[in-house]
Amino acid sequence: LRLRAQTAMLGKAEELDTDSFSKAAQEETPLLVDVYAHWCGPCQLMAPQLDEVADDFGDRVRVVKIDSDKEEALAAYLRVQGLPTLLFIKDKAVVGRIEGAMMKNEISAWTE
């Protein structure tokens, strides 16, 4: 059963709340964080691209999503000013930040 749950997560960006994000940011696995909103057209355009990137990265990079409307305090803490915002967190620090929609190949190149 546990293996099935892990397999189900592959190939899909995970939705995190503030508590689960705080825990994930302390782990060794780098995080690619998409801060988005449901009303944001470019955010919705990018969602399937992130799922493909998550599939490509497998367990090397954890791809996660944060709904800026539900997690306003977290978005403010992360200093998100535009949507979508991608953050790359490695070794417990934000090492990359970019705003605007990106396609799969751009996201992959940016995180390499």
What 8-state DSSP symbol labels residue 91?
T
Is 43 labeled as catalytic in the residue annotation? yes
Assign 3-state DSSP to the chain and report helix, strand, coil percentages, each to 5. Answer: 40, 25, 35
Is 40 labeled as catalytic in the residue annotation? yes
Q: Tell me the one-letter amino acid at 103.
A: M
> Annotated catalytic residue: which of 40, 47, 94, 98?
40
CB 111 within 8 A of CB 96: yes
> Annotated catalytic residue: which of 31, 43, 78, 89?
43
- Distance between CA atoms of residues 49 and 64, nearest Å: 13
Residues annotated as catalytic (active site), given as ranges: 40, 43
